[in-house]
Chains A and B, each alone.
Chain A
Amino acid sequence: MYRAGLGIFSRTLVLLAAAAGAPAADAQSGWSLINMPRGVTNVSRKIYGLHMMGLWVCVGIAVVVFGVMIWSLIFHRRSRGAVADVTMVHNTKVEIIWTAIPVLILVSMAVPAANLLVRINNNSHAQLSIRVTGFQWGWQYQYVGTPVSFVSKLGYRSDEARELDSGISPYAVPHYLLTVDHPLVVPTGEKIRLLVTSVDVIHSWWLPDFGVKKDAIPGFINEVSFTVDPDKPGTYRGQCTELCGRDHAYMPVVVRAVSPAEFAAWLKKQEALQKQGVDISAQQASTQTPLASPTG
């Protein structure tokens, strides 16, 4: 056991401090994480827009309906001398209105949702196809049309820290549980098509910043595509979202989006390594140094 008791204590203090209105020390602090990320693809931003539209429509309905109910709760109480109007049992006009208005609201939500749905399910004209194969517990990435193929598993330091008797605090590990030994590398600004499947049980490849989630199902090949904004290179992180056994929480999805030139150079290097018979997965993993000290 690592300092679990102390950890709980200190985190609780942080919690109480925040609850008392202390300003968050860190802008990236968990308190501010209350909404869907806008993401770095056109699709993810459109999904974010749809999500916010849905949210505000619901808030609007809630204000009206809850408002009416709260009005009754306050003003139609017996303790205020309210006398029940027992004749009010039925009103066809009102009932038609409150059936029709929701229908109109729903149609106004369904139209943009359907439009977007059709648009984002278009996987044609992809510039690069990558085969994504889930397994217990990790991902295999295979660049179609090239010999480049490697396995992507939980990063060494996270893997070490998550062991039951590790004694390593998750706070000591950068991007705890969201690092891999070997991220998927893609070029920005190009349409990438993923061909998602699995060799054992069902997994799901999720990258919130791309607005992409697709189940990896044995015997099926699912298609999904995305285009990272040309000006948004970087490392993006997600996780498996379909319960897939004991280590379901430990098979993150990490994608490094780089400029097309950088990508071409990277791919060439990997091809060369592969031709020499070097196992890329093993090679990359061994370059990582283990944690110097378990205390972190």
Chain B
Amino acid sequence: MAEPHAETTAHAEHEHMPHGWRRWVFATNHKDIGTMYLVASCVMFFIGGAAAMVIRAQLFQPGGKLVDPGVFNSLITLHGLIMIFGAIMPAWVGLANWMIPLQIGAPDMALPRLNNLSFWILPFAFSLLIATLFVPGSAPAGGWTMYPPLVLQFGDSFPMLIFAIHLMGISSILGAINVIVTIMNLRAPGMTLLRMPLFVWTWLITAFLLIAVMPVLAGAVTMLLTDHFFGTSFFNAAGGGDPVMFQHIFWFFGHPEVYIMILPAFGVISEIIPTFSRKPLFGYEAMVYATASIAFLSFIVWAHHMFTVGLPVSAQLFFMFSTMLIAVPTGVKVFNWAATMWKGSLTFEPPMLFAVAFLFLFSIGGFSGLMLALVPADYQYHGTYFVVAHFHYVLVSGAAFAIMGAVYYWLPKWSGRMYDMTLAKWHFWLSAIFVNVLFFPQHFLGLAGMPRRIPDYAVQFTDWNMVSSIGGFAFGLSQLLLPYVVWKCVRSGKRVEANKTWDGAHGLEWELPSPAPFHSWTVPPSEALIARGAEH
């Protein structure tokens, strides 16, 4: 082992650490802001999850009378928006805040005050969004996709929805700018681009996607706003507008958006699998190029969400081919992960368990994605529970599992304590089993003819809906273990002494003491440390 860095052990590290509420409200430290992002994301995950529990309870049997159909539509709308913009995306920004400076040898994020702003916008955005449930009329109930003309039918909640989306977009753009500036300017000398950990790479590409598409979403919802209040007719056919144009603009944002949620997951998985295989990542450069290819392709596949709107056949062909192409770089990534495990020396700590489950379940989501790309078959799949199953496989057992794996991977580094391994494994096994009980039957329901976004259904769909609901309740309950394990770890976990929590880990974050000091890499790491960390 090399000497611990002199500067990292100095107690001066903990000086200038503000205390009390100022530490959080005026936070400029990347670790504090990262923590706040992660905590906020966890809160939103449970709020969005509560909506999902009501949805599954309503759908437990036909003739469900738990909530009014209008309320049901509001719940599915808020569930989607909260999980995407409140749970998954802020979790990734939180992980970026914590890990990018540690992994590239930077003292902090490049723009700390901007960082504070981009976090503190979020509580306001989500208070506004959730408050729509309590305004006269109805909360937005047109689905998270906000298609006009339906979305224009909602009253007082409509401008609140638009403003909340604007705020979330501003927050994301500021966060993305910060990530790019940090990675481009604050890498330690010797940390060349192709030495960067995959998590940093995937986040760099994600940040460019965010900057490219969040303004597009802002434009789309602004046009909705002016259509509603200022008499424009962007999407109003009676005024010469085009409702389908909204869908084009929305999905030009929306498809890159799904990669915004999954690319950092690819990065995390590329960190965890080598660590617990005790082998360098197979095909590091191919992984970087595959990520970039996926990001590029994400801009030219948007209309595969719209195969039934009546596009010209030539357009349908183009979007079918471009969508199928995505399977190639995605396949390369999965093969590289499989090759990394091949001839490894595998152990199955909780982060690895989540990563392995990710490999299998994300792939299943990829397979249904490939089937959905086949346009004639999509005519049957579109708008059914088959689609619901598909995107929950990639977002829950994909993105969310990767986030949970990341938390279990880096928590000892953050807290300086080890969590209860047994409880974490319980969390994993319950999640992995019930996520399948929850979502796999939804493939059947969709194929058999059950549309999505309905509060009641024909009686032949009862059996698989019950299975799905039981899986949903069990999955939802098991998630309570996650904050409990984290809380218990932070309060009373056994202290970890070593810099390296996991014997197979590589990377600069593992050269720092545990917990990582409040100010880290105030002196850049040496070239030797970087070279050792970059043994991909």
Contacts and interface: CB of A to CB of B under 8 A. Distances in A.
Contacts of A168: 63
Nearest to B446: A36
Contacts of B536: 89
A65 B238 contact: no
B244 A36 contact: no
Given A162-B456, A204-B308, A218-B149, A15 B346 contact: no
Interface stretch (B264-272, B420-428, B459-467): B459-467
A206 interface: yes
Interface in A23-66: 28-31, 33-37, 43, 46-47, 50-51, 54-55, 57-58, 61-62, 65-66
Interface string B354-396: 0010011001100110110011110110111000000000000
B382 A118 contact: no
A120 to B, nearest CB: 6
14 contacts: A50-B377, A69-B341, A78-B346, A89-B281, A99-B331, A99-B332, A118-B313, A121-B313, A161-B63, A201-B147, A208-B449, A213-B380, A219-B243, A246-B141
B78 to A, nearest CB: 14
A201 B308 contact: no
Interface of B: 60-63, 65, 68-70, 73, 141-143, 147, 149-150, 153, 237-238, 241-244, 277-286, 308-310, 313, 316-317, 320-321, 324-325, 327-328, 331-332, 334-335, 338-339, 341-348, 356, 359-360, 363-364, 367-368, 370-371, 374-377, 379-380, 382-384, 443-445, 447-449, 451-464, 466-467, 504, 536
Nearest to A221: B310
Interface in A53-112: 54-55, 57-58, 61-62, 65-66, 68-69, 72-73, 76-79, 82-86, 88-91, 94-95, 98-99, 102-103, 106, 109-110
Given A47-B376, A54-B370, 6 more contacts: A11-B61, A12-B466, A102-B327, A110-B321, A170-B456, A201-B149
A117 interface: yes
A249 interface: yes
A88 B454 contact: no
B65 A164 contact: yes
Contacts of B147: 201-202, 242-243
A217 B368 CA distance: 27
Given A50-B374, A120-B376, A220-B310, A73 B356 contact: yes
A275 interface: no
Interface string A123-166: 00000000000000000000000000000000000000110100
A204 B308 CA distance: 8
A58 B308 CA distance: 24
Nearest to A15: B466
Contacts of B242: 219
A47 B377 contact: yes
A170 B310 contact: no
B243 A202 contact: yes
A85 B341 CA distance: 10
A278 interface: no
B282 A88 contact: yes
Contacts of A29: 460, 463
Interface stretch (A171-179, A183-191, A260-268): A171-179
A138 to B, nearest CB: 15
A206 to B, nearest CB: 7
A88 B141 contact: no
Contacts of B309: 215, 217, 222
Nearest to B77: A243
B310 A222 contact: yes
A245 interface: yes
Contact of B68 (A18, A103, A164, A220): A164
Contacts of B335: 65, 98
A114 interface: yes
B371 A249 contact: no
A213 B307 CA distance: 10
A200 interface: yes
Given A77-B347, A78-B345, A113 B460 contact: no
Nearest to B142: A243
A201 B279 contact: no
Contact of B342 (A47, A86, A88, A109): A88
B380 A88 contact: no
Contacts of A113: 320, 374-377
A247 B69 contact: yes
A60 B142 CA distance: 38
Given A58-B367, A89-B280, A117-B317, A18 B463 contact: yes
Which of B68, B143, B370, B379 has the most chain A CB atoms closer than 10 A to its own CB?
B379
B346 A73 contact: yes
Given A47-B379, A243-B142, A72 B341 contact: yes
A30 B464 contact: yes
A99 B334 CA distance: 11
Given A117-B320, A220-B310, A30 B382 contact: no
A177 B327 contact: no
Given A33-B464, A109-B374, A102 B458 contact: no
6 closest A-B pairs by CB: A219-B237, A241-B383, A30-B463, A249-B454, A33-B448, A58-B367
Nearest to B372: A54
Contact of B310 (A58, A109, A217): A217
Nearest to B68: A164
B437 to A, nearest CB: 11
B468 to A, nearest CB: 11
A94 B283 CA distance: 10
A169 interface: yes
Most chain B CB within a 10 A radius of its CB, from A28, A102, A212, A222: A102
B379 A55 contact: no
Interface string A13-25: 0110010000000
B129 to A, nearest CB: 18
B371 A54 contact: yes
* Residue of A11, A200, A208, A249 with most chain B CB atoms under a 10 A cut-off: A249
B313 A117 contact: yes
Contacts of B374: 50-51, 54, 109, 113
Contact of B346 (A77, A106, A162, A171): A77
A117 B346 contact: no
B458 A72 contact: no
Contacts of B444: 33-35
Contact of A83 (B243, B345, B467): B345
A218 B243 contact: yes
A61 B338 CA distance: 13
A7 B61 contact: yes
A292 interface: no
A244 interface: yes
